[in-house]
Each structure stands twice: as structure tokens, then as C-alpha cells.
Amino acid sequence: MTATLRQMTMDDLPAVMKIERDTFPLDAWSEGMLRGELDDQPRTRHYVVALVGEEIVGYAGLFAAGDQADVQTIAVSETHRRAGIGGAMLAELLAEAVRRGAQSIFLEVRADNPEAQAVYDRFGFGRIGVRRRYYEDGTDAIMMKKDLNA
Ligand SMILES: CC(C)(COP(=O)(O)OP(=O)(O)OC[C@H]1O[C@@H](n2cnc3c(N)ncnc32)[C@H](O)[C@@H]1OP(=O)(O)O)[C@@H](O)C(=O)NCCC(=O)NCCS
């Protein structure tokens, strides 16, 4: 399955919000939050969607300012996982962070999300700390970092 990536626009929000709600039923971002992110694109944000044919099957977003960047979000619809799409989007976010001059990139991931942690491990992120009970349901957040200038 080959996916193509392109920049996310406001027109993509209905399809993106469907994946968002399916993927994060307990703590989905609102459409307004995502609009706010896109409003700041390209200044401090870079959001991409992944397409298989005409269908949006995933999306990911980067925050970048100064020498630091963050992975804001990443999701692939359940039926399209383990096909390299999440990895392709993460690679694009890392490349954009480098293009923007970031020295390091950070993210937070739920302690009970081994799938996402496996992706981040594979891309060379290391664990730098834990935020106890960071999420509303009491789950810890694991903070991860990758140096981009190595
Ligand atoms: C995390 C997520 C985006 C990964 O997307 P994906 O398209 O399935 O990832 P890829 O197919 O590119 O996987 C890249 C590599 O990560 C690792 N990986 C991914 N999913 C994995 C899993 N379920 N178990 C173990 N390793 C996994 C593997 O090393 C994989 O490479 P391989 O398939 O060649 O072995 C996807 O699982 C998802 O949408 N999860 C729900 C949302 C979420 O948790 N987002 C992150 C919030 S911090």
C-alpha cells in the first residue's frame, strides 16, 4: 500500500476529525483545536495528511519554533496501520523540523501505548522523563526526545 503525503488544509478537517474521534475516543481534540493548529501553519506548525487514493488515512502535526520542535499528534486509521504510513509521516515531520533549524524534537506518549512507543524507538527517540498521571484518566506520560543535529 503506497500512501502519498501532502500538507493538511482546513478542507481536510472532516476526514481528519473522523480518524481523530475513532482513534482517541476518550480525549479527542476538538475541531476548533485543530483549526487553531492550522491557523498557525506554516509559521510554527506543519501538518500533513496521508492519502491512499483519494482517502485520507492518517495525519500528523509538528510544532517548531527556534531550536525546538514537538510532535503534536500522529494517527493512522486502524485498517491502514503497520503499512509504513505512520513512519512515513514521522519521517516527514523530522525532515521539516531539520529544515526549520530545530536541534531537538520532543513528544509525549501514553505509558499504555506500546505501539506508538515502538515507532518512536525505531526512529531513535529516547526516554527523558515521566509525567505522572498526566492524562485525564490517570495514565502517565512518557516524555521522549531525539537530537536532530547528531
Ligand atoms: C502510532 C501509529 C501512528 C503508527 O502508525 P503505523 O502506520 O501503524 O506505523 P508504521 O507501519 O509506519 O510502523 C513503523 C514501525 O513502528 C513499529 N511499530 C508500529 N506499530 C507497531 C506495533 N503495533 N507493534 C510493534 N511495533 C510497531 C515497527 O517497528 C514498525 O515497523 P515495521 O512494521 O516495519 O516493523 C498508529 O499505530 C496509530 O495511529 N496509533 C493510534 C494513535 C496513536 O497512538 N498515536 C500516537 C500518540 S503519541
Q: Which of 119, 127, 146 to mutate to test the pocket of ligand 1 (most atoms within 8 A of CB)?
A: 119
Count each helix (H run) and each strand (E run) in the chain, helices first. Answer: 4, 7
Tell me, yes or no, if the pTM score tops 0.95. Answer: yes
Pocket probe for ligand 1: among 20, 63, 115, 122, the residue whose CB has the most ligand atoms within 8 Å is 115
Q: What is the pLDDT along the chain (150 residues), one digit of tens a residue?
A: 689 999 999 999 999 999 999 999 988 999 999 999 999 999 999 999 999 999 999 999 999 999 999 999 999 999 999 999 999 999 999 999 999 999 999 999 999 999 999 999 999 999 999 999 999 899 999 999 999 986
Kindly list the structural domains of the chain, giving each domain's residue range(s) and its CATH number in brackets, ordered by start: 4-147 (3.40.630.30)
Helices 114-122 & 85-99, crossing angle to 10 degrees? 50
